[in-house]
């Protein structure tokens, strides 16, 4: 399959021509797409998840007449599972960020319902890399509320409301996707604006290194898609070069993203 680079350039030029770079208008668009009710619900959902995690573990632990040995085994199992989800989701968010970024950087999705506006935003970012730093932080993080609500609904349908692993999954994924947004934003900031802690975390590869992300911002924008810490960049770069069907501008990445978003919600809390 051959990709029409001319058509791609035309689309980018259209974005360039049409955009007024209005921060206030962007703010209003974000608020319309992700209303305050979703933001409040996602925060309350996380507070509820912390309470339910404590409640489920506490109830199993103390409301049964287990011996000391059994309780100690249970404690290791609970804390082991929690730690596993905390670490796994940190890695998963980097991978998911890369796969979603591949989808939204695809000019073919600029006219696809539901995701067209997101795709426009991602592709606009290639042309104006300063907008991400200039826009309000809350506008950059706010879209994550919709992701948190969607992921939780899927989780509750599959696992019910008495699974502590699901709540740990919701809490950690919510935190990491917000951190991912910040990590991408920080990678575009000037070093002196980031502060020493962020600079240090970037140099340790805990957060996305600006030099690594800069490689993505070179036409035709088909490499280094991960925006959490970039750990999966090499792997995704290699996969997209394996076969023409896996080229970043192939629409196959949409079903791949849907599967990689839904499957962990099904599997990890099991």
Per CB under 5 A, residues contacting Zn ion are 105
CB < 8 Å & 24+ apart, contacts of 15-23 = 15/120, 15/123, 15/124, 15/127, 16/127, 19/124, 19/127, 19/128, 21/128, 21/131, 23/131, 23/134, 23/135, 23/136
Q: Which two tokens stand for residue 139?
A: 């506008």
Least distance CB 118 / Zn ion (angstroms): 12
Check if the beta carbon of residue 269 is closer than 8 Å to that of residue 155: yes
> Is 103 or 168 the residue whose CB approaches Zn ion more closely?
103
Least distance CB 24 / Zn ion (angstroms): 22
> Is 82 or 178 the residue whose CB approaches Zn ion more closely?
178
Biggest distance spanned by C-alpha atoms of the chain: 71
Compute the distance between CA of residue 167 and CA of residue 51 in angstroms, rounded to an integer. 9
Residue with the shortest CB distance to Zn ion: 105
Least distance CB 257 / Zn ion (angstroms): 14
Compute the distance between CA of residue 265 and CA of residue 26 in angstroms, rounded to an integer. 31
Least distance CB 61 / Zn ion (angstroms): 45
> Is 165 or 185 the residue whose CB approaches Zn ion more closely?
185
> Is 39 or 95 the residue whose CB approaches Zn ion more closely?
95
Compute the distance between CA of residue 257 and CA of residue 260 in angstroms, rounded to an integer. 5
> Is 149 or 189 the residue whose CB approaches Zn ion more closely?
189
> Is 94 or 105 the residue whose CB approaches Zn ion more closely?
105
Least distance CB 29 / Zn ion (angstroms): 19
Least distance CB 101 / Zn ion (angstroms): 6
Least distance CB 153 / Zn ion (angstroms): 28
Closest C-alpha among 88, 89, 123 to residue 103: 123
> Is 49 or 233 the residue whose CB approaches Zn ion more closely?
233
Compute the distance between CA of residue 11 and CA of residue 21 in angstroms, rounded to an integer. 17
Closest C-alpha among 86, 115, 88, 97 to residue 184: 97
Check if the beta carbon of residue 20 is closer than 8 Å to that of residue 131: no
């Amino acid at each position: 399959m051959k990709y029409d680079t001319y058509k791609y350039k035309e689309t980018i030029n259209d974005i360039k021509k049409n955009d007024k770079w209005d921060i206030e208008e962007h703010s209003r668009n974000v608020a319309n797409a992700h209303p305050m009710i979703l933001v409040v619900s996602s925060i309350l959902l996380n507070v509820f998840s912390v309470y339910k995690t404590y409640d489920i573990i506490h109830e199993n632990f103390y409301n049964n007449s287990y011996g000391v040995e059994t309780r100690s085994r249970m404690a290791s199992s609970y804390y082991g599972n929690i730690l596993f989800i905390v670490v796994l989701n940190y890695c998963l968010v980097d991978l998911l960020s890369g796969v979603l970024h591949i989808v939204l950087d695809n000019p073919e999705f600029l006219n696809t319902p539901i995701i067209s506006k997101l795709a426009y935003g991602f592709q606009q970012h290639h042309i104006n890399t300063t907008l991400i730093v200039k826009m309000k932080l809350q506008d950059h993080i706010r879209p994550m509320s919709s992701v948190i609500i969607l992921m939780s609904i899927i989780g509750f349908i599959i696992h019910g409301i008495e699974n502590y692993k699901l709540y740990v999954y919701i809490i950690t994924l919510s935190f990491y996707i917000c951190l991912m947004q910040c990590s991408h934003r920080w990678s575009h900031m000037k070093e002196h604006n980031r502060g020493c802690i962020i600079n240090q975390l970037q140099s340790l590869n805990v957060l996305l290194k600006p030099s690594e992300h800069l490689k993505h911002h070179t036409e035709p924008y088909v490499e280094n898609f991960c925006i959490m810490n970039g750990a999966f960049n090499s792997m995704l770069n290699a996969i997209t070069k394996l076969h023409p069907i896996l080229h970043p501008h192939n629409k196959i990445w949409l079903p791949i993203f849907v599967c990689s978003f839904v499957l962990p919600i099904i599997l990890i809390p099991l």
